Chain A
Amino acid sequence: MSADHRLVLGIETSCDETAAAVVAQGADIRSSVVSSQVDLHARFGGVVPEIASRAHVELLTPVVAEALVESGAEGPDMHAVAATVGPGLVGSLLVGVAGAKALALVWDIPFVGVNHLEAHLFSAFVEDPSLQFPLVALLVSGGHTMLVAMEGHGHYRLLGSTVDDAAGEAFDKVARFLGLGYPGGPAIDRVAITGDPTAVRFPRAMLDAGYDFSFSGLKTAVVNYVRQHPEAATEDVAASFQQAVVDVLVAKARRAAREIGATSVCLGGGVAANSALREQILDAAAEDGLNAFLPSRAMCTDNAAMVAAAGWWHLGIDGASPLDTGVEPNLALPLT
């Protein structure tokens, strides 16, 4: 029975989240557990601290157990186990990779090392396997901002990336500066709804120059503006800041799609949950005759279902990874 389902257990520990998921044939999600989103405290006891690799050590076993229970499968039913090998924090990555290798040994199944960035690109296909190539993927999160041309699975061309701050980082820092709380993306999104996005004309850095992004100057511009205009309405500043980010992201994704002759554009990463970005990328795609794919919030943010999906694909193309595969904190997207 297990062989028919071709279940892959995915494990993700590259940054803050400890996550595990069971996915059949790279697309059918049987379970997807993310430590910050479930009440592991209630079920397994213990605290749920952030960031440190020690937290991953404490959470990995209960998170994997929960993923297996929710999937209705047993460990030995797995066809393979996939884990993120990079990029990320070395100590955090080691926990997931060591755990995955141990399970692969115990269950006598293949281990597959997965690139976290490539896994994000797979996340759109988990929810919509009918997506057509070539496509432009805009990956925007707290740690990454990149525009990628995909000609097929495994065929990536990095068109551009941030030269300083990631888009999600700009949201978080501006939100904290404006006293809107954490996480900053949803906080700004919420406040911006009642603000005027044209109230302040913040800079759109590198708007017409290539595909790289820069958001550090925008953050400083917001700080400068508020220092000079302490009376400015926070919702107007938030809406104007958000519009500056969205304008740049949408303009570059559009231009990239036109240049490579893409049929689709898709979003990934936590910032893909921003309502202004979603609305405006949909409008732009409709105008340009493109399909736009907007993944669910659960698939935008770090999760292990995308790792299992990428692992499934790599297993079919490249076979298993050797058990002496190391972690790679600075791993880049494999380019063609």
Chain B
Amino acid sequence: MSLAATTAGVDQTRALAGAVSGLVHAGDLVLLAGDLGTGKTAFAQGFAAGLGVDEAVTSPTFTLVRTYPGGRLAVNHVDVYRLERLQEAVDLGLAEMVDDDAVTLIEWGDVVVPALPADFLEIRLAYGEGAGDERRLTLRTVGRRWAARRRSLEAALAPWTVA
């Protein structure tokens, strides 16, 4: 199933991410998809802040993985933008990173789905109409972990859901 939401800009994308972070459990996997500049890292920033991480969340594009242990749950922030082959995601141990102590957020995660557990929340970000800062978000759940949280996800997204 999928849900749609619209944010007016990067601040609202961060706020929406904070609302989603209230629903996550240890061991969850969240995939972020969308073109350059649509707000994947901004989503990660709002998400980590919502979990109580107080250090600056910066892009993991070059380091591939950054871990933030400081909040309600530890956050593994991953970016597979630079990986060129699926085998590299396997070598990196992405599947093993998804464990019971942390929540794992993967930017460009849609391209490495075959290397991941089939149980995740996917958030797709896209540019809105026109030239403004509006972003369209589509949230899709795969597997049982997230199916059980559909109602609470709908409630969390209500402020940004298109009527």
Contact = CB atoms under 8 A, between A and B. Distances in A.
Given A89-B65, A168-B62, A53 B91 contact: yes
Interface size class of B (residues with CB under 8 A): 20 to 34
Interface in B62-91: 62-67, 82-84, 88, 91
Interface stretch (B17-25, B34-42, B138-146, B148-156): B34-42
A283 interface: no
A165 B62 CA distance: 10
Contacts of A49: 88
Contact of B58 (A52, A166, A168, A329): A166
Interface in B30-56: 35-37, 41-42, 45, 56
A260 B90 CA distance: 47
Contacts of A163: 56, 58
Contacts of A165: 41, 58-59, 61
A173 interface: yes
A142 B82 CA distance: 12
Contacts of B84: 50
A203 interface: no
B117 interface: no
Given A50-B88, A51-B88, A224-B131, A91 B93 contact: yes
A296 interface: no
Contacts of A216: 41-42, 59
B21 to A, nearest CB: 18
B127 interface: yes
A219 B36 contact: yes
A15 B62 contact: yes
B66 A330 contact: yes
Q: Which of A162, A216, A228 has the most CB of B within 10 A?
A: A216
Contacts of A227: 127, 131
Given A51-B83, A173-B36, A177-B36, A166 B62 contact: yes
Interface in A85-142: 87-91, 141-142
A166 B66 CA distance: 14
